[in-house]
Amino acid sequence: MSADETSFSSADPTSKIIVAIDGPAGAGKSTIARHLARHFGLLNLETGAMYRAFALKALRAALPLDESRGLESLAAETAIRLESGEEENHVLLDGEDVTGLIRNQTVTDAASRVSVLPAIRAWMVRLQQQMGAGGGVVMEGRDIGTVVFPQAEVKIFLDAAPEVRGMRRYDQMGPEPAQQPDEVIRDLRARDERDRNRADSPLKPAPDAVLLDTTHLTLEEVVAAAEAIVAARLVRLAN
């Protein structure tokens, strides 16, 4: 533990702080959010999982993914909850734990499509604001520092070159990858394109976000840098 971190105790701003982590797919947001949550005793809320769970419901209902009206009606009768787990959030879709069903390519692609719709975003943002209202959270996504919690005490924008992000994704696919590296990178670029260019809440760093480019950093280095950013902010808040 560094000298910086020892200068605040558990009775201080940590319990109320909101840490917003944004960035493109494969930048390492989930890993870093999980580390920060553990290290600082915060609740880890992964908002991408919420879009994914809703996309799964839309796919199951065989609804067109670009028709806002139908999806809005579906959203009106959908309950999505995130629960903290050891390794990742558990996502409850209408009470069903769908955590293991939302990481495949079909749902990934569908989540990217439904997330461009303003009505769906507005609904998600409301849910996320309710979940994080009490503070004491690390919330990770694309628009947390810009839209969901523009007042967040800490904002980190994680980024890395697309090839590096694609290869990290590929390496996570295990011994029998479903795709070749070039396909993974191509899909990731397509998602980037949609996330960055959508009219409503495009992916971009908040003006006051700390940019962390992880292209040439190891996981340990990124974790250390992110911890230092949060610790420094906590020290400033405590003084």
- Residues near ligand DC, by CB under 6 A: 25, 47-49, 51-52, 111-112, 115, 141-143, 191, 195
Are 204 and 64 in contact by the 8 Å Cβ rule? The answer is no
Least distance (Å) from ligand DC to the CB of residue 14?
A: 23
Calpha distance 45→128 (Å, rounded): 9
Q: Is 178 exposed, middle or buried (0-12, 13-18, 19+ CB in 10 A)?
A: exposed
The CB density around residue 63, as the number of other CB atoms within 10 Å, is 17
- Quick one: 124 or 231, whose CB is closer to ligand DC? 124
What is the closest distance, in whole angstroms, from the C-beta atom of residue 108 to ligand DC in the complex? Answer: 7
Minimum CB distance to ligand DC, residue 31 (Å): 12
Task: Answer yes or no: are the C-beta atoms of 53 and 98 closer than 8 Å.
Answer: yes
Length of the chain: 239
Q: Which is nearer to ligand DC, 19 or 231 (CB)?
A: 19
In the complex, the smallest distance separating the C-beta of residue 225 from ligand DC, rounded to whole angstroms, is 20
* Planar angle of CA 114, 153, 214, nearest 5 degrees: 65
- In the complex, the smallest distance separating the C-beta of residue 144 from ligand DC, rounded to whole angstroms, is 6
Query: In angstroms, rounded to a whole number, what is the distance separating the alpha carbons of residues 154 and 70?
Result: 36
